[in-house]
């Protein structure tokens, strides 16, 4: 039963990801006074891509062809570990938050390798930038989740959420810092403005797009979908770790229903925040990104330290 539920949740996750993307586009258009496409445009795009015949460059190796599947699979697995509407699912036991980060890294690695596989200048450029950014973002992310893990005494996500739920609303300075860090990282990792611009193909600014420049057809679809799932993953992480209220703690129907509604609401709100930031800020130069990310890193480490110094100082074992 639990396993079935877990699989269902994962499927829901996968299915809902394009919807979130559509929502974000829509809100953005509204804020920019443009006419918005329908909410389901992403699904149409994906379907269109599946139908198209993919093209492999001559110099491509098997890595180029395998990468989309690996990227997608690793993202889906990551999605499976993260409690969406309910905690205490068995999948949450398979892997904890460190493994989650590991899986992001795995997917990214193959994406980058695929980018370098063709031997185009853009592929290399994108890969180099992607790795640079991630090598600063990943530690920040780890620090942020460690802060949570240390106060919850677990790296297991559903345990941690339980912990937050049980202790109720406590104003922890560490969580505030961690939340800040986490949000900055999420923006960077999902390739949004001000770090990267998913909508551009302007040579010198693109990062993520530069890597997948040579992809087409179903491969491109898989990658796009994977990045939509990733975006949603970060959203869910932020939402459920820092504001877990409303997530179902048992498997009763109305609890689950309420959980779905709540997560949808939270994600919608987060999406609006994201869009606001995207509309308000301009994309920054690649070498400014390091300052941005080291600030995220700093926030997370501060969160950790403030947990150690301010909150846990009187804990004795």
| Contact between 54 and other proteins per CB under 8 A | yes
- d(CA 267, CA 18) in angstroms, rounded, equals 13
| Contact between 276 and other proteins per CB under 8 A | no
* Listed ranges 29-37, 147-155, 241-249, 262-270: which one lies at the site for other proteins (CB under 8 A): 147-155
Q: Minimal CA–CA distance to 147: which of 180, 174, 168?
A: 174
Q: Minimal CA–CA distance to 158: which of 223, 232, 100, 229?
A: 100
| Contact between 308 and other proteins per CB under 8 A | yes
Give the per-residue contact string, 61-80, with other proteins (x = CB under 8 A; - = no): xxx-x---xx-xxx-xx--x
Rounded least distance, CB 87 to other proteins, Å = 13
- d(CA 266, CA 289) in angstroms, rounded, equals 28
Angle between helices 173-189 and 286-306 (to 10 degrees): 150
Long-range contacts of 90-97 (CB under 8 A, 24+ apart): 90/2, 90/3, 90/6, 91/3, 91/6, 91/9, 91/10, 92/156, 92/157, 92/158, 92/159, 93/156, 96/154, 96/155, 96/156, 96/157, 97/145, 97/148, 97/149, 97/155, 97/156, 97/157, 97/160
Query: How many C-beta atoms surround the C-beta of residue 103 within 10 A?
Result: 21
Rounded least distance, CB 183 to other proteins, Å = 18
| Contact between 177 and other proteins per CB under 8 A | no
| Contact between 218 and other proteins per CB under 8 A | yes
Q: Which residues contact 152 (CB under 8 A, 6 or more apart)?
A: 159, 160, 163, 164
* Listed ranges 26-34, 47-55, 181-189, 252-260: which one lies at the site for other proteins (CB under 8 A): 47-55
Q: Which residues contact 200 (CB under 8 A, 6 or more apart)?
A: 206, 209
* Listed ranges 37-45, 149-157, 182-190, 262-270: which one lies at the site for other proteins (CB under 8 A): 149-157
Rounded least distance, CB 138 to other proteins, Å = 4
Residue 309, judged by CB atoms within 10 A of its CB (0-12, 13-18, 19+), counts as exposed
* Listed ranges 111-119, 192-200, 259-267, 274-282: which one lies at the site for other proteins (CB under 8 A): 111-119
Size of the site for other proteins (CB under 8 A): 89
| Contact between 95 and other proteins per CB under 8 A | yes
One residue of 88, 128, 249, 277 binding other proteins per CB under 8 A: 128
Phi/psi for 248 (5° steps) reads -75, 130
Structural contact between residues 260 and 86, judged by C-beta atoms closer than 8 angstroms: no
Which CB sits closer to other proteins, 98 or 280?
A: 98
Rounded least distance, CB 85 to other proteins, Å = 20
- d(CA 85, CA 254) in angstroms, rounded, equals 11
One residue of 5, 16, 20, 125 binding other proteins per CB under 8 A: 125
99, two tokens:
């493994």
Rounded least distance, CB 259 to other proteins, Å = 22
Rounded least distance, CB 231 to other proteins, Å = 19
| Contact between 173 and other proteins per CB under 8 A | no
Q: Binding to other proteins (CB under 8 A): which residues in 178-207?
A: 201, 203
One residue of 5, 21, 89, 113 binding other proteins per CB under 8 A: 113
| Contact between 153 and other proteins per CB under 8 A | yes
Rounded least distance, CB 265 to other proteins, Å = 29
One residue of 18, 84, 89, 146 binding other proteins per CB under 8 A: 146
């Amino acid at each position: 039963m639990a396993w079935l539920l877990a699989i269902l949740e994962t499927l829901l996750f996968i299915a809902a990801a394009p919807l979130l993307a559509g929502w974000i586009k829509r809100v953005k258009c509204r804020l920019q006074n443009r006419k918005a496409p329908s909410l389901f445009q992403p699904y149409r795009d994906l379907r269109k891509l599946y139908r198209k015949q993919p093209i492999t460059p001559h110099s491509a190796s098997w890595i180029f062809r395998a990468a989309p599947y690996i990227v997608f699979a690793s993202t889906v697995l990551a999605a499976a570990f993260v409690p969406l509407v309910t905690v205490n699912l068995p999948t949450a036991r398979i892997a904890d938050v460190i493994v989650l980060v590991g899986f992001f890294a795995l997917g990214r690695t193959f994406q980058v390798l695929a980018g370098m596989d063709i031997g185009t200048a853009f592929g290399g450029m994108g890969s180099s930038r992607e790795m640079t950014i991630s090598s600063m973002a990943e530690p920040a992310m780890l620090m942020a989740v460690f802060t949570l893990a240390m106060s919850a005494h677990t790296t297991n996500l559903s345990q941690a959420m339980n912990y937050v739920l049980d202790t109720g609303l406590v104003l922890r300075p560490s969580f505030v810092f961690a939340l800040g860090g986490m949000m900055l990282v999420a923006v960077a990792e999902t390739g949004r403005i001000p770090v990267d611009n998913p909508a551009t193909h302007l040579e010198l600014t693109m990062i993520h797009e530069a890597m997948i420049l040579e992809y087409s057809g179903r491969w491109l679809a898989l990658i796009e979908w994977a990045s939509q799932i990733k975006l949603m993953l970060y959203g869910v992480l932020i939402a459920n770790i820092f504001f877990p209220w409303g997530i179902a703690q048992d498997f009763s129907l109305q609890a689950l229903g309420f959980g779905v509604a709540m997560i949808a609401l939270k994600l919608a709100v987060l999406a609006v925040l994201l869009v606001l930031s995207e509309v308000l800020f301009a994309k920054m130069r690649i070498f400014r990104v390091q300052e941005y990310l080291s600030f995220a890193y700093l926030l997370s480490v501060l969160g950790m330290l403030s947990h150690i110094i301010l909150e846990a100082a009187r804990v004795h074992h």
